[in-house]
Each structure stands twice: as structure tokens, then as C-alpha cells.
Amino acid sequence: MKDILTKVNRNDGMTVPDGYFEDFAKRMAASLPQQEWEKPEPKVLPRSIWQRMRPYVYLAAMFMGVWCMMKMFDLMRTDSYGLSIENDPVLTAAIENDHFINDYFINEGDVDDYQLMEDLYQTGFDPTEYDEMLNEDSSDTAASMPDSPEFPLSEI
């Protein structure tokens, strides 16, 4: 029972030719594709100016975005300097004037054009200054405004 295969004289066909495994490693290495670590190092091209400056441009854009966002938050505050009425002397004077509030906001339907012009003259309105200002701006506005029946350009 010790050498059962020799007793049976069984040959299973699993044999290799003589000297097959002597140069097996060399033949196997030659038949395999080139490995990743054996590839030559790729040639590195020099970076362009934009590729070098791009991180700094992106950083500057990010900071500008943060600054704009903070500016908007500052303008939306109720105690913001730019949006408060107390910082505008003309609006403050108009709101403090009871005559102005009563005539132009509460009873706005009772004010006619003549009364409005009289009030403007009493406060120091000079129509010649307005005409001069309108004549200076009329060349710019006349070119940009379309001529329509409601607002003819000849009356400007």
C-alpha cells in the first residue's frame, strides 16, 4: 500500500517535456507585457503663464465674492449708513416738514399743478436752472429715447 500508483501502473498524462522548467522564468517574463513601473518617465512640459497664475486669480475672485456678499449684508442692515433717511438731509427735512407731508402724501389728490409750481417757487426753485440742465442732457436723452406720441422729442 505504500506506493499505490506504482502498483497500479497508472499514467495520468500530466507530464512535461524534459528541461521545461529550467528556462521557464525567462520565457514567461519575455511573454508578459511591460509593467507599469518599468515604463519610462513621461516628459513634463513647462507650465504656461495662465496655469501658474490661475490659482491666484481664483483666490482673488473668491475674496471679491466674499467682499461683495459682506457689502450686501451691510447694506441690508437696518442701521446701515447708506440706506438710512437720517443721513440724507433733503429727505430728513421733507419728512420733518408737516406742510409737505400733509399736502403731498395725505392729500395728494387735492394738489393741482398751479399749487405745486407756487410751492416750488416759494422754496427757491428757479426754472431757468432746470432748463439749462435739461438742455445739457437733452442731446444724450434725445438720442436714446424713441419718439412717441405721448412723449414727443420736440417738447424736450
Q: How far apart are CA 13 and CA 10, in angstroms?
A: 9
CA 71, 73, 78, 79 torsion-angle sign: negative
| Domain extent listing, the chain | 47-83, 84-136
pLDDT tens digits for the chain (156 residues)? 567 767 776 666 777 888 888 888 888 888 888 766 666 778 889 999 999 999 999 999 999 999 999 999 888 876 655 556 667 777 777 778 887 777 767 766 566 778 777 877 888 877 777 677 667 655 554 444 444 444 444 444
Which amino acid belongs to residue 149?
A: P
pLDDT of residue 108: 62
Q: How far apart are CA 119 and CA 121, in angstroms?
A: 5
- Contacts (Cβ under 8 Å, ≥6 apart) of 134: 156
CA atoms within 13 A on the CB side of 85: 6
pTM flag (> 0.75): no
pLDDT of residue 80: 53
* High-pLDDT (> 90) share of the chain, %: 17
- Contacts (Cβ under 8 Å, ≥6 apart) of 83: 75
pLDDT of residue 37: 65
